[in-house]
Amino acid sequence: MIGVVGAGAFGTALAIALARDGRSVTLWARDIGDMAQTRRSPRLPDVTLPDGINITKNMVDIAASETVLLAVPAQSLRDVLTANATHLDAKQLVACCKGIDLETLTGPVATIARTLPNAMPAILTGPSFAADIARGLPTALTLACADDTVGQNLQQQLSTGTLRIYRTTDTIGAELGGALKNVIAIACGVAIGASLGDSARAALMTRGFAEMQRLAQILGAEPQTLVGLSGLGDLALTCTSPLSRNYRYGLALGAGTAIDPAMTVEGAATSWAVTRLGQDRGIDLPVCAVVAALTRGEISVETALQNLLSRPLKEE
């Protein structure tokens, strides 16, 4: 049995994909509403939830699962782990979120390890939209776990006919790739929203990717991880599609239009955290710094553009 904590779009989509492939899945949410009766999710209204999904609001039901997917926002992960330590301790815990904790400046794997040291932490990340997974469209993800034996077991558990899982032991690279690409997606959305053009977006993707690699390697990631699914693959998807919440958020910022306050945008908080990390390590991260200032309302789009264009000329 596999447990999924968090019945948002992504957690529900993973539960659907696994149940369709014959797994027994328990899906937990604080408020399940009438999902158990209607077999419909308000986040994925066009998809019927398979019978193999047991929907619950009781965390004790999750305790029966050896493997638990944590599909909660990165900034909520530590609180969820702390509040439910009795039920989650000593399990295989797979983070399904992308971000850096604002208080501890750690990614999801490190957050799990610090909060529940008896658990086996891992992360599932890569280029994916919940709607695609729920509809059974082909998707490839990266499963990162420091213990490769556990990683192989999780790879087998979580792979389905349409969900292809690759694995790595580089948890630092995988979690940073997933977190940092959201920051660059906001920047790309701003460029398109402000009518700066596709060339500007391409430049931001490229220079932003260089920042991702620079910081990740300083923090101990393996270089090849960032050019895989959890880095470059995810970056390409989220910087070009309006299905990306971070990209849509950037579009609204660039265009000066209203932003949906209910929309979870991991990249904003991540930009604040990564800017602090860069300052602490003495690393130049101009794109991330501009996104942090924009999302805090400290500068305008025009000032952000001028800040980037007026930087000293240099070799690539």
Q: Helix or strand or coil: residue 43?
A: coil
Spatial separation of the C-alpha atoms in residues 12 and 180, rounded to whole Å = 24
Structure-token pair, residue 183: 């920051």
Q: What is the mean pLDDT of residues 292-306?
A: 94
Tens of pLDDT along 107-140?
999 999 999 999 999 999 999 999 999 999 999 9
- State the CATH class of domain 2-169: alpha beta
The CATH 3.40.50.720 portion of the chain extends over 2-169
Spatial separation of the C-alpha atoms in residues 84 and 132, rounded to whole Å = 30
CATH number of 179-309: 1.10.1040.10
Nearby residues of 10 by Cβ (< 8 Å), 6 or more positions away? 71, 96, 128, 130, 133
Spatial separation of the C-alpha atoms in residues 125 and 229, rounded to whole Å = 8
Is position 214 annotated in a ligand binding site? no
pLDDT, position 259 = 87
pTM, two decimals, is: 0.96
Is position 9 annotated in a ligand binding site? yes
Is position 129 annotated in a ligand binding site? no
Catalytic hit among 57, 91, 181, 314: 181
Q: What is the mean pLDDT of residues 43-56?
A: 94
How many residues are there in the chain? 316
Tens of pLDDT along 79-97?
999 999 999 999 999 999 9
Structure-token pair, residue 22: 């014959």
Tens of pLDDT along 245-277?
999 999 999 999 998 888 889 999 999 999 999
Is residue 49 within 8 A of residue 35, CB to CB? The reply is yes
pLDDT, position 268 = 96
Mean pLDDT of the chain: 96
The CATH 1.10.1040.10 portion of the chain extends over 179-309
Q: What is the mean pLDDT of residues 281-285?
A: 93
Spatial separation of the C-alpha atoms in residues 259 and 279, rounded to whole Å = 29
Is position 234 annotated in a ligand binding site? yes
Question: Catalytic residue at 181?
Answer: yes
Structure-token pair, residue 254: 């660039």
What's the one-letter identity of residue 218? Answer: I
What's the one-letter identity of residue 228? Answer: G
